[in-house]
Amino acid sequence: MDKTRYVDVFHGSGTINLPVPQGAAASWHAIKGLCGNTSPGAVLPFGKYAVAPYSGGYSSGYGVNRMNCGGPIRTFSDTLRLRGFSHFQQSGTGATHVYYNYAVVRPSYGGPERDWGVRDESGRPGRYAVTLAETGIRCELTAARTCAMHRYAFGRPGGMLTFDFENDGLYADEDRLRSPARDVTVRRVSDRELAAAATLQGVRLWFAVAVEGDGALDESGAFRLAGPGTVTVRLSASAESAEAARRELEASTASFDEVAEAADAAWEDALGRVCVEGGGETERRLFYSNLYHSLVKPCDWGGGGFLWRGAPFVVDIVTMWDLYKTQLPLLYTLFGEVSSHLAATITRMGLERGRLPHSLMLSSELDREAAQACALGEISLYDAWVRGVEADWPAAVDAALKDVGRPDFAGRAADGSIRRLTHVLDVYEGCSAAAELARAVGKPREAETLARAAGDWREAFDPATGLLRADSDYYEGNHWNYSFRLLRGMEERIALAGGREAFVRLLDKFFGFTDPEDLSGRFEGFNNETDMEAPWAYHAAGRFDRLCEVLDLGDRYAFRTAAGTTGPGGIPGNNDSGGLSACEVWNDLGLFPVSGQDRMLCGRPKFCRAALKLASGETLTVERTGEGKVPARVTWNGKTLCGRRLAASEMMRGGALTFIY
């Protein structure tokens, strides 16, 4: 089956346009960004290079939206107009204040700079095309492992290309979404080649550009055509040196069509790691579009990073508090090589800086958003380990020890208090996971240290309400939104709430099954990162019927457009580098990873059969038999699964998971 044909690369690229919710979902209350913020640009799975249409829109550089962190969407234009085509973009993130969109290529027929309307816009994985309405210039984009590629068709004389190496960010106005480039140099190497360099977000980048066509580069660096014709541009970048950028450029000798065909094959292979059967055309489009957006980030830069050279370097681990729950476990489950490179990057960051990262972008500001969460590096390394990712695990334990040993670890104040009670839960889960890893790799003393650092999660909860204490600073939402985390001590956590019936009453209120008019604490309709795991708290309470109901409501009202299919408005909020899309992928498969624990929870699969090619080389099949809304039982290799949960490490050995209705 051709998986790429099911992908809508525009899914989630615009303002949310979801169906009018009914039932309990009618009371769900979104507080965050009301746009998916994805880009339809050309990129390979976890590719270094991304080349995309650039309008200056928030936050990927595409579209017409201004910054949105909740409330009505503001726009800067009534229609999409492009300034050119840029490189390196965020995918689905919110207000990171690092937006890239470097090295903008502008095709035109001369005259003052302006934006162009669009027509005949199209895209598929690894390829994008559009015609600039006022000029008729046909523009095509694709990407290889070592370069980005453009092709422009000019229908009349006077065509030209200009290259802007100073661009950094989005539209320029009061929202301050642009940053100044520093020390920009542009040099014409020959009639067909440019070399450039710029310091962007504090990182020195070198660019190499080659142009093929009937024309030449002038002294200003603009390429001018001799007449009508087609021009191809190859662009490479390096954080090492100008020579390294040129080597990458020279490594790509294939034609535009050959590169586009290779990109299609790469995406077919990546999407083919999961083959689903059953469901209609629309359901497959929704599934593979979400799977596609789950595999765009992070970006594997090989051995050429700005922090070190000659060793694996993976960037755009942007909002790890989203990624670690769904997207990174999906990565570790299906893709061995990039998972190994990511684990090596996280570990080395910890060893060299004494701090495991919560965010790593092409920015010298390495501690950006460091206060949002704690110990997520420990949790994510553990998730990679239980899935059999190849890495230096004793070194990972050492990195965790350095992280835990920081005076400011867990965001503690001088008096020892913790500003955010969510950090208490982070630290408990992260240090417990790291202690388990340390014991497994033969480091018992280190395991004891990490176990002591885990602290006591109970101090974060109010026994009177069964929720997190209200007297805390919560990053988004309030204490309700963070109260349904899947803790290692989940049985005790349910008991603290007054037992299963009382815990379920809290969940029913949160999800709108009771007291729908009370918005004091409300599920946000998969619009926030806490929403990814909250429905699965019903699983811990044994209410599989309620879990299935919430997942069905989310599928019906949160991950498709008002027309019931894919499209720009079909993701319920910031996709956060694939975090939300990966959540829907797991929900569709009937599984959910519990981060920091060797545990997969079983829900309800959407498709009658799915086959996953695991990174271990084995195959996991997920099947459903019978009819109904809630599975009566779940079996693993023919044996009933107690508690409807499966160890992630066992899953990686392959086998058959069957949901019997």
Q: What is the mean pLDDT of residues 329-354?
A: 98
Min mean pLDDT across 166-180, 181-195, 238-252, 505-519 is at 166-180
Which pLDDT value is given to residue 357?
A: 93
User: What mean pLDDT do residues 235-258 have?
Assistant: 97
* pLDDT tens digits, 122-165: 999 999 999 999 999 999 999 999 999 999 999 999 999 999 99
CA angle 157, 163, 165 (to 5 degrees): 175
Q: So what's the pLDDT on residue 414?
A: 64
Among 598, 617, 612, 614, CA closest to 383? 598
Mean pLDDT of 163-183: 91
| pLDDT score of 598 | 98
Q: What is the mean pLDDT of residues 382-396?
A: 98
Instruction: Give the torsion through C-alpha atoms of 207, 208, 212, 215, to 10 deg.
Output: 80
Res 1 pLDDT > 80: no
**What pLDDT shows up at residue 133?**
96
DSSP string over 153-211 = EESSS--EEEEES---BS--STT--B---EEEEEEE-SSSEEEEEEEETTEEEEEEEEE
Query: How far are the Cα atoms of 2, 6, 324 from residue 9, in angstroms, in the given order?
Result: 15, 10, 23
338-352, 415-429, 508-522: least confident range? 415-429
Q: pLDDT digits over 26-58, tens only?
A: 999 888 889 999 999 999 999 999 999 999 999
DSSP labels, 577-593:
GGHHHHHHHHHHHTEEE
Helices then strands, counting H and E runs in the chain, come out as 16, 29
Whether 63 and 149 have beta carbons less than 8 Å apart is answered as no
Inform me whether the pLDDT recorded for 371 exceeds 80. no
- Measured in degrees and rounded to the nearest 5, phi and psi for residue 234 equal -115, 135
Q: CB of 153 within 8 A of CB of 217?
A: no
Within 8 A by CB and 6+ apart from 408, the residues are none
Question: Phi/psi of residue 331, each to 5°?
Answer: -60, -50
* Residue 280, CA distances (Å) to 52, 125, 284 in order: 31, 21, 6
**pLDDT for 570:** 97
Q: Which pLDDT value is given to residue 112?
A: 83
**pLDDT of amino acid 315:** 97
**pLDDT the model gives residue 415:** 67
pLDDT at 173: 75
Tell me the mean pLDDT in the region 496-522.
95
What is the 3 state secondary structure string of 274-319?
EEEECCCHHHHHHHHHHHHHHCCCCEECCCECCCCECCCCEECECC
Cα separation, 369 vs 430, whole angstroms: 18
Residues 201-214, mean pLDDT to the nearest whole number? 98
Report the pLDDT value the prediction gives residue 412, as an integer from 0 to 100: 65
> What pLDDT, on a 0 to 100 scale, did the predictor assign at position 608?
97
Mean pLDDT, rounded, of the chain: 95
> Tell me: the pLDDT tens digits for 464-487?
999 999 999 888 889 999 999 999
Q: What is the pLDDT of residue 323?
A: 95
For the four alpha carbons of 473, 479, 481 and 486, in that order, the dihedral sign comes to positive
Asked if pLDDT for residue 250 goes beyond 90, the answer is yes
Residue holding tokens 């602290």?
A: 455
Mean pLDDT of 557-567: 97
> What pLDDT, on a 0 to 100 scale, did the predictor assign at position 442?
98
Are the beta carbons of 88 and 362 closer than 8 angstroms? yes
Confidence of residue 417 (pLDDT cuts 50, 70, 90): low
Please tell me the distance from the alpha carbon of residue 477 to that of residue 135, in angstroms, as a whole number: 47
Separation of alpha carbons 234 and 129, rounded Å: 16
List, for residues 578-604, the tens digit of each pLDDT value: 999 999 999 999 999 999 999 999 999
Set out the domains of the chain in order of their start, with CATH numbers: 4-14+32-270 (2.70.98.10), 272-660 (1.50.10)
Does pLDDT of 419 surpass 80? no
Quote the CA–CA distance of 419 and 178 in Å, as a whole number: 31
Give residue for tokens 């811990």: 540
Percent of the chain residues topping a pLDDT of 90: 90
Q: What is the pLDDT of residue 80?
A: 97
407 pLDDT band, cuts 50/70/90, is: confident
Q: What six digits make up the tokens of 290? A: 């979400």
The Cα 64–Cα 85 span in angstroms is 15
- Mean pLDDT over 96-102 rounds to 95
Provide mean pLDDT across the span 52-72: 95
> What's the whole-number mean pLDDT along residues 506-524?
94
Of residues 371 and 331, the one with the higher pLDDT is: 331
Higher per-residue pLDDT: 408 or 34: 34
pLDDT band at 408 (very low <50, low <70, confident <90, very high): confident
